[in-house]
Chain A
Amino acid sequence: MTERSPDIDTPKIDAVAAPAKPVPPAEEIPLLRIQGVSKTFGSFPAVDRLSLDIRAGEFFALLGPSGCGKTTLLRMLAGFETPDEGRILLGGRDIAPVLPHERPVNMMFQNYALFPHLSVRDNIAFGLKRAGMARAAIDTRLAEMVALVKLEGMEKRKPDQLSGGQRQRVALARSLARRPKVLLLDEPLAALDKKLRESTQQELMELQRRLGMTFIVVTHDQEEAMTMANRIGVMNAGRLEQVATPRDLYEAPASRWVAEFVGDVNLFDGEVTSHEHHRLTIATRDGGAIVVAVPRQLVAKSPVSVAVRPEKVRLSRPGPVSDAANAQPINRLEGVVTDVGYLGGSSVYKVKLDSGAVVRSSMANTARLDIDTLGAGQRVVAWFTPDDCVVLEQ
């Protein structure tokens, strides 16, 4: 452990990267390198030949449904599980033979796993004492950590004398106290209520930026992952479906599975019929011919699916279309509104197309007074542009 900062209000944590350093370019050697890692429980492959690089200073989220292997992967990084195959390199060093208590990695546990017989102070100091730090150094670090998570005055309390939010902070302070190279967070906000979760998300992000530490968070909550992470790895059945920034994950999903898992989506199955200039025309069963922008990576296989996010689908009352508008390659699908879900800031409309398929549209409620709202039974045109569409292999 290194020298301590006398200023407890703005603690400087000397992790691998300097504080507030921007995410380094990809060419740099990644801090954490997971190479072809597999783990099988009995006959169930929890993690299946997974490879992933995580850079220093990144806030990385592992997102997936329960049972997808994300927690197993995290536990392998912490050292609680041993990979059956593959290597995990931390700073270029294989950490497979390093026991959990010797790894420069700390974990914040899902239910916090605070020691019930120890005070807040002793919980946070637990790891520092094990590291053989001097008493005075421990006291300074403790004060720093307590200030960092805003638990001043709570040092003598036992975990069950704290609220859920306070317990979460103790767990965070305890896992940060040793200044790990990588902090692993297993569903860190799952036990908090919605309001507290949102404010804690902000605090976690701010903390991570300030400390410049590498955070890897496991979550099943896509909003949480989208809000906090620089990059997200979406896991399904032990494999990574896609690793991308939150925006790319949503706007350019790599597979049909990701498109459906992250956010809401309308899917039209069909075959590519023509390819001219920058446009593909796809004959779909439910939506007729749909014109889409040519994807960056051309799909090799047909049949394909056209994915359109509900907020990209706009609704209008049917009427004559001007020649100028007609010249634009806009996809128009006619149908009847069957259901309107009012959510406050926006409304979700279900439109039954003439083909029988249902398309969902989400539109912002920009006007306060409902002079022109669309109600159930209203005949509408659902429309979207070629650029609103993503073409995916089925």
Chain B
Amino acid sequence: MSTRRIFAQPARYAAIAPYLWMVLFFLVPFGFVLKISLSQTAIAQPPYVPVFDFAEGWAAINAAFAQLSMDNFRLLVSDNLYLSSYLRSLIVAVASTLILLLIGYPIAYGMARLPQRWQAIAMMLVIVPFWTSFLIRIYAWINILQHDGLLNTVLLALHLVSAPVVWLSTDTAMYIGIVYSYLPFMILPLYATLSKMDPALLEAASDLGASPQQAFWLVTFPLSLPGVGAGALLCFIPIVGEFVIPDLLAGSGSMMIGQTLWLEFFTNKDWPVAAAAAVALLVLLVLPLLLYDRLQRRTLEGGR
């Protein structure tokens, strides 16, 4: 009881910390972005109107409010450029997440079945690429994939192809880059769930007449779904907004939404449209998150 009283006050303050963080570094900046998304572009500093100036009194602020409009959002849904960027982002993210799952699951499964002391080593090997800068690793891929790069050299030497294949600036190169970069984020949550599973459950399944394949699909896989969800989400969301990998590895034919944002912000200097695109992207990403949250809560309640 006394320990509870001692810790009650600081604990209450500590509980505020994440909210404070969210307000300061997410909600307030998001408010700015939202406001800009409702403004109009202008050749000025900053490059949009209206600008709230609290020094000029209530009338000016009210006038500024009146100037805000949804025009940019209307542009987003009417212009093909944005719709196709969103669509491409979603397609790339879904496809990459599926590929990641197909590659990551067997790796995580294999890791979880290694003898205990090998598991730590396998874990290290998964994490070790993070020790090199992300950009350097992507440039390394450019090197490997270019016309006279390692991949073509090997393929030619093995007589698998007769002429160098164009890898760089294709979607294949982009998918290679994305899958390579995000694989650890898929493996780690999957490994965490799979390694926690009681091996007696598989024995029980086998005892009750399930073949190894049946035991996997009826027991292991359903029990690993929380890990699948976490891994998929951890990959899907950042891939949707990915800018660097498609910019460096994919062709210039079509853009992902991250690239479109960059274009609007830095090339066109159209902050309001870029801000509107960013707000729309956020809404797009929050939806699957809420869905996952509901799903998770349902399994939790079902488990109780």
Contact = CB atoms under 8 A, between A and B. Distances in A.
A binds B: yes
Interface of A: 78-80, 99-102, 105-107, 109-111, 113-117, 126-127, 130-131, 158, 160-161, 174-175, 178
Given A158-B303, A160-B304, A115 B204 contact: yes
Contact of B205 (A99, A102, A126): A126
B210 A113 contact: no
B209 interface: yes
Contacts of A174: 208
A113 B211 contact: no
Given A115-B219, A127-B209, A130-B214, A109 B204 contact: yes
A131 B209 contact: yes
A116 B200 CA distance: 12
B23 interface: no
A365 to B, nearest CB: 44
Contacts of B200: 109-111, 113
Contacts of B219: 115
B302 interface: yes
Nearest to A127: B208
Nearest to B198: A113
A107 B204 CA distance: 8
A100 B207 contact: yes
Contacts of B223: 116-117
B302 A106 contact: no
B210 A115 contact: no
Contacts of B203: 78, 80, 100, 107, 109, 113
A217 B255 CA distance: 67
Contacts, number: 66
B54 to A, nearest CB: 56
Nearest to A174: B208
Contact of B208 (A80, A110, A126): A126
B258 to A, nearest CB: 37
A130 B218 CA distance: 11
B209 to A, nearest CB: 4
B206 A100 contact: yes
A99 B205 CA distance: 12
Nearest to B225: A117
A99 B201 CA distance: 17
A113 B201 contact: yes
Contacts of B201: 113, 115
B222 interface: yes
Contacts of B214: 130
Of B207, B211, B304, chain A has the most CB atoms within 10 Å of the CB of B207
Contacts of A161: 304
A116 B210 contact: no
Nearest to A126: B208
Interface of B: 198, 200-201, 203-211, 214, 218-219, 222-223, 302-304
B303 A101 contact: no
B103 to A, nearest CB: 25
Nearest to B207: A107
Given A101-B206, A109-B203, 17 more contacts: A99-B206, A100-B203, A100-B207, A101-B205, A101-B210, A106-B207, A107-B207, A113-B198, A117-B223, A126-B208, A126-B210, A127-B208, A158-B302, A160-B303, A161-B304, A174-B208, A178-B209
A107 B200 CA distance: 11
A169 to B, nearest CB: 16
A174 B209 CA distance: 12
Contacts of A105: 207
B205 to A, nearest CB: 7
A126 B203 CA distance: 13
B304 A101 contact: no
B224 to A, nearest CB: 10
Contacts of A130: 208-210, 214
B67 to A, nearest CB: 55
A161 B219 CA distance: 19
For the complex of A and B, the 5 pairs showing the least CB-CB separation, nearest first, are: A127-B208, A130-B209, A113-B204, A113-B200, A100-B206
Contacts of A113: 198, 200-201, 203-204
Contacts of A160: 303-304
A220 to B, nearest CB: 18
Contacts of B205: 101, 115, 126
A95 B207 CA distance: 14
A111 B204 CA distance: 11
A224 to B, nearest CB: 21
24 contacts: A78-B203, A80-B203, A100-B203, A101-B208, A101-B211, A106-B208, A107-B207, A113-B198, A113-B203, A113-B204, A114-B204, A115-B204, A115-B219, A117-B222, A126-B205, A126-B208, A126-B210, A126-B218, A127-B207, A127-B209, A158-B303, A160-B304, A174-B208, A178-B208
A77 to B, nearest CB: 11
Nearest to B208: A127
A117 B221 CA distance: 11
A149 B135 CA distance: 63
B272 to A, nearest CB: 49
A92 B201 CA distance: 30
Contacts of A100: 203, 206-207
Given A113-B198, A115-B219, A116-B223, A101 B204 contact: no
Contacts of A101: 205-211
Contacts of A126: 205, 208, 210, 218
A10 to B, nearest CB: 25
Contacts of B198: 111, 113
Contacts of A116: 223, 303
A288 to B, nearest CB: 55
B187 to A, nearest CB: 22
Nearest to A100: B206
Contacts of A106: 207-208
Contacts of A109: 200, 203-204
B207 A78 contact: yes
A79 B204 CA distance: 11
Contacts of B302: 158
B245 to A, nearest CB: 36
Of A113, A131, A175, chain B has the most CB atoms within 10 Å of the CB of A113
